[in-house]
């Protein structure tokens, strides 16, 4: 078996084993993909301060996210259709996260349902909510998340309308897959994926089918999905959802200091500085560049998390040292999942953990919670002088 030493190793295997339309669905940003690219390349602009002659024994990456213990402050981000990247993908990823001691976030648009993931895991996971026009569906989803024992609600705010990803249109992406001569040809070389898919019954959107009136099959679901995200979602409705849920609330998709202040005002427990991995507003700032202004605005009043562009433990360290208290990986765990199922997600977490731990040591730190700006060299013009 190939030796996995970095996240890119998993990505290469993932690409070989997964149908092109699902690989493309994951590995793309909206329009020109500028924000998608800069999410990662902006991490490279920040340098680490090497320190020496510091006792490095007894290191710890353990921390807390929204008051919950984590083996390292790296959660699995909500990723729609994960169950199409690998059969039973959400359950496998949740199991890997549970084993590693980090949070797993289940997307509204998952293949395995809330109930299914709860039945197949033993620790509470987080549920990510997309607000739908059908407010009864939203209410029921919140109740189902409570019944499934979810320990946080992650409300995504940056996808009321879909950013265009050219490849999905060109590939004719559907869940489940629709067979055309082109997809048949592609599938012929992805036999492992196909065999595993044939052995599972989970092949459509498990949180939606059967939970919304008039949607019992995929043809009506595709019509529903295209029109279903609620463009009227505003801060009043966010407040309503917070009250309805009544538990820890994380607001995801904050990229602007003014929005961070609004999130604070509605009483969220944490925010995720995120541009949806560059899949929504192309031309928006990378998350790591947006972080300093958000830290200045609310950093001492609310927990600030970050995602988008993280591909290594060094990236995690940079985000934490810039002030975030938690991070999420999206694509980095999907690469692992598509490459090797649950084991691949565990490998992705192992790689990131090792990089974080060793890098922390080489920066002269023993505890992840002590990381700070003193560990970094940040260009004076990093944030930029914007009019």
Active site residues: 276
Report in angstroms how near the CB of residue 374 gets to ligand FMN at its nearest. 26
Query: What residues line the site for ligand FMN (CB under 6 A)?
Result: 25-26, 39, 77-80, 107, 109, 128, 156, 252, 274, 276-277, 279, 307-310, 329-332
Helix (H, G, I), strand (E, B) or coil at 203: coil
Q: How far is the CB of 89 from ligand FMN (least distance, A)?
A: 11
User: Measured from the CB of residue 26, what is the shortest distance to ligand FMN in angstroms?
Assistant: 4
Give bridge partners of residue 153 from the DSSP assignment. 127, 249
Give the contacts of 300 (CB within 8 A, at least 6 positions apart): none
Residues 6 or more apart whose CB falls under 8 angstroms from that of 188 comprise none
Q: 336 with 348: CB under 8 angstroms?
A: yes
Q: Is 176 annotated as a binding residue?
A: no
Say whether 294 counts as a known binding-site residue: no
**Residue 107 annotated in ligand binding:** yes
Sequence-distant (6+) residues with CB within 8 A of 246 are none
311 is in an annotated binding site: yes
C-beta of 386: minimal distance to ligand FMN in Å? 23
Closest to ligand FMN by CB, 78 vs 365, is 78
Cβ proximity to ligand FMN: between 39 and 359 the closer is 39
Pairing of strands 47-48, 376-377: antiparallel
* DSSP reduced 3-state for 126: strand
Q: Where are the alpha helices (DSSP H) in the chain?
A: 7-17, 20-26, 34-41, 82-85, 89-100, 114-119, 135-147, 166-171, 181-188, 191-198, 218-228, 235-245, 257-265, 287-298, 313-321, 331-362
Q: How many residues does the chain have?
A: 387
> Which residues, 6 or more positions from 368, have their beta carbon under 8 angstroms from its beta carbon?
60, 61, 62, 63, 72, 73, 320, 356, 360
C-alpha radius of gyration, the chain, whole number: 20
105 is in an annotated binding site: no
Residue whose Cβ sits closest to ligand FMN: 330
Ligand-binding site membership of 16 (annotated): no
Closest distance of CB 315 from ligand FMN, Å? 9
Q: Per the annotation, where are the binding residues for glyoxylate? A: 25, 165, 276, 279
Q: Per the annotation, where are the binding residues for FMN? A: 78-80, 107, 128, 130, 156, 252, 274, 307-311, 330-331
Q: Per the annotation, where are the binding residues? A: 25, 78-80, 107, 128, 130, 156, 165, 252, 274, 276, 279, 307-311, 330-331
């Amino acid at each position: 078996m190939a030796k996995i030493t970095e996240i890119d190793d998993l990505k290469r295997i993932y690409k070989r084993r997964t149908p092109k339309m699902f690989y493309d669905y994951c590995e793309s940003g909206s329009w020109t993909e500028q924000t998608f690219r800069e999410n990662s390349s902006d991490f490279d602009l920040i340098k680490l301060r090497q320190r020496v002659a510091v006792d490095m024994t007894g290191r710890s990456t353990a921390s807390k996210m929204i008051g919950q213990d984590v083996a390292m402050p790296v959660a699995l981000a909500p990723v729609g259709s994960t169950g199409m990247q690998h059969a039973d993908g959400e359950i496998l990823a949740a199991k890997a996260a549970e084993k590693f001691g980090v949070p797993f976030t289940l997307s509204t648009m998952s293949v395995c349902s809330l109930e299914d993931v709860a039945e197949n895991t033993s620790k509470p996971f987080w549920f990510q909510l997309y607000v739908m026009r059908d407010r009864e569906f939203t209410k029921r989803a919140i109740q189902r998340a409570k019944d499934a024992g979810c320990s946080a609600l992650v409300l995504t705010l940056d996808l009321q309308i879909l950013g265009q990803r050219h490849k999905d249109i060109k590939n004719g992406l559907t869940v489940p897959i629709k067979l055309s001569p082109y997809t048949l040809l592609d599938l012929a070389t992805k036999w492992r994926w196909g065999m595993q898919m044939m052995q599972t019954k989970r092949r459509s959107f498990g949180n939606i089918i059967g939970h919304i009136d008039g949607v019992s099959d995929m043809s009506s679901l595709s019509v529903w999905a295209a029109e279903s995200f609620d463009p009227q979602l505003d801060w009043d409705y966010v407040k309503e959802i917070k009250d309805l849920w009544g538990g820890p609330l994380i607001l995801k998709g904050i990229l602007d200091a003014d929005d961070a202040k609004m999130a604070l005002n509605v009483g969220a427990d944490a925010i995720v500085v995120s541009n949806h991995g560059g899949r929504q507003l192309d031309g928006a700032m990378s998350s790591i560049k947006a972080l300093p202004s958000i830290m200045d605005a609310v950093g001492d009043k609310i927990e600030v998390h970050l995602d988008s562009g993280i591909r290594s433990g060094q990236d995690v360290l940079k985000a934490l040292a810039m002030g975030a208290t938690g991070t999420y990986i999206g694509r980095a765990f999907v690469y692992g999942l598509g490459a090797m199922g649950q084991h691949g997600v565990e490998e992705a977490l192992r790689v990131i953990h090792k990089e974080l731990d060793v890098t922390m040591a080489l920066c002269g730190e023993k505890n992840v919670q002590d990381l700070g700006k003193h560990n970094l060299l940040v260009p004076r013009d990093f944030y930029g002088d914007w009019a």
